[in-house]
Every structure is written in C-alpha cells, then in structure tokens.
Amino acid sequence: MKPSANVFIALGLSASLLMVSGCSSASGEGDVNTPSSSASVEGDVNTPTLDGGVQNYLGDYELVDQQYQTQTTVRLENNQRIMTTNALPNHDTGAFPNESNPNTISAQNVTWTFPLVPNFLGKSQNVYETGVALNGVKFEPGTDERVTCESGEVHPIEALQTVADLGMDFNNAHVQPNGAYHYHGISSLMVEIFSSDADLVHVGFARDGHLLYYSKSGKYSPSYKIGSGNRTGSGCLYTPRKGNAVDFGSVKDGALTDDWEYDASYGDLDECNGTTIDGIYSYLITNEFPYVSRCLMGEFAAEVRGGPGAP
C-alpha cells in the first residue's frame, strides 16, 4: 500500500483513542516526562488528540484503528506498564510479501511488560528487541542476515543500507516469518500520527522502561562513526533468498554493523543512543546509525528469542 492522505490526519475518523489517566506519582518537566497522576504533558513533548489538543501516552490508553485493525491497550498496574497488542501498525505499509521479503503481515498476540519506574544502571547491556512503539509495533534494529567470508569471518548486515535488498518498505520496516511487522528505524508516518508542534515526539517504550523519542529537528546526534581501515576477511559474500550472491567489498561504508564504532566525543548521545533531558534519561531514535539503540542502560528482564513478536 502507498501512503494515503488520511494517514496524515492523526488518529482520523477511522480511528478511536480512549485515554485514562495514569496512576504513578512520578512527574517530569521540560523536554520529556514520566508518568504522573494526572497524566499531563509539559514542555517539549506531546501528542495529538482527536480534537487537536494535547494527548500523552504515559497513563492507561487504548488505541483502536478500524481501518488498519490496530488494537493496542496499555494499563498501569502494580508499578508496571503492561501493553497487550496485535502488533498491527496504524498506518500504511509497503507491499508484503515482496521479492526480498516473502512474509505476510498478520496479527500477533503480544504482551509487553515494562517497569513503571526504570532502574538506571549506567552500564550498557546488549538488546535485540529494543522496545515497542505506542501502536504496538516493535523496534528491532538488527538483522539475522550475515556476510560470510571464505576466511571464516562473519559480519552482520545492517537493515538500512543499499547494498543488499532486505525487502524494507517506506517505514524502514519489514515482516518476520511469523507475520510480525517491525521497525528497523523511524517511520515518518508513525511520527506524523503521534506528533504535535513540539520537536520531541514520544514514540514508544524501551524494554527497561525508559521512553523512546524522536527529534523532528535532529536536535540530538548519535556518537557513532564509520571506523578506519578495511573490513576483515576475504571472499566475503551475502547469499540472498533469491538471486546471486552479493559482494559487500572490503571498504567500510556503514552497510555492515562492524563498520561502525562508538566515539563519545563525536555526538550528543551515549553508546545506547540515550541522554538525560531535564533530569530524565531517555533514548532517541535517530536518522543515523544506530537508528534504534542496540543496548539499554536500565535494568530489564533477560530476553528470550521467540519472545514478544519474535519468530
């Protein structure tokens, strides 16, 4: 499907959004917010309501979109944020299956549980599924596609690159074998739905309970850059599901995850693409690598591959 004009009317006539105020006592001011007893939003972060006012997603909410069959419910219970969702996006998607992605989008039965008050550890821990968008679609930045070298090296391929076609659509997303649609980067359609006049748009929840934001102005820059020197290994090829093997070459161009290195002096964000804004730690989804964080700074339950939304 191609983007239609009605997508840009946030939660339009085809959608309904019911909001119930949250029950946490924590609050924040300025650019970002934590759940409050009145579920209010202050400062530079807000999202629209049906009548054009300010709506936030820090308390209980239900998002139902009849056009796209999206069904997502969030409840705050026992110091946890619990999301149940069918993981269907509330916006247009590309055509699936396609030549490079043979899978069909299908409804899931997923429950996500986040701590309502995150426990910031300050130590990065790798994560595969970073978290989930407000609409119930998960963020999964990495891929399972690999370049394999005759000399034995194996390099993971980035989802957002132009050397090999991984079947991505215009939302920087594609579909897993079990039908789970998922984002590898930011979706401009999703941002448009949850956006307002503020620069920072609250777009989701990370596994550790911290919030995920997107800056429309690109206010925060990642601290990753392409490393020096050539890639290791010889005879390195990627063999797609269909077609001929792809040679990624030896020059680092960002198409492989190993091409990138973290340099704290290079940007505004830490190695997990996070920063503290007005005293509150949050993650930024960016238009540049790492796009969506590959690690988290807070405490979270151990991942089980095959968990929420995974094949």
* Domain spans of the chain, in order of start: 5-298
Tens of pLDDT, residue by residue over 110-121, are 999 999 999 999
Cβ atoms of 184 and 141 closer than 8 Å: yes
What does the pLDDT read at residue 280?
96
Instruction: Provide the whole-model pTM.
Output: 0.83
Cis-peptide, bond into residue 102, ω within 30° of zero:
no
| pLDDT at residue 151 greater than cutoff 80 | yes
pLDDT of residue 305: 65
Taking residues 251-276, report their average pLDDT. Answer: 97
Q: How far is CA 114 from the centre of its chain?
A: 15
The CA-atom distances, in angstroms, between 264 and each of 222, 223, 275 are 9, 6, 12
Average pLDDT over residues 125-150: 97
Q: What is the pLDDT of residues 203-235, one digit of tens each?
A: 999 999 999 999 999 999 999 999 999 999 999
- pLDDT, residue 185, reads 98
Cα–Cα distance for residue pair 246/85, rounded to 1 Å: 37
In which band, very low, low, confident or very high, does the pLDDT at 74 lie, cut at 50, 70 and 90? Answer: very high
Q: Can you tell me whether residue 189 is helix, strand or coil?
A: helix
Q: What is the pLDDT of residue 39?
A: 30
Q: Band of the pLDDT at 42, cuts 50, 70, 90?
A: very low
Supply the mean pLDDT for the chain: 85
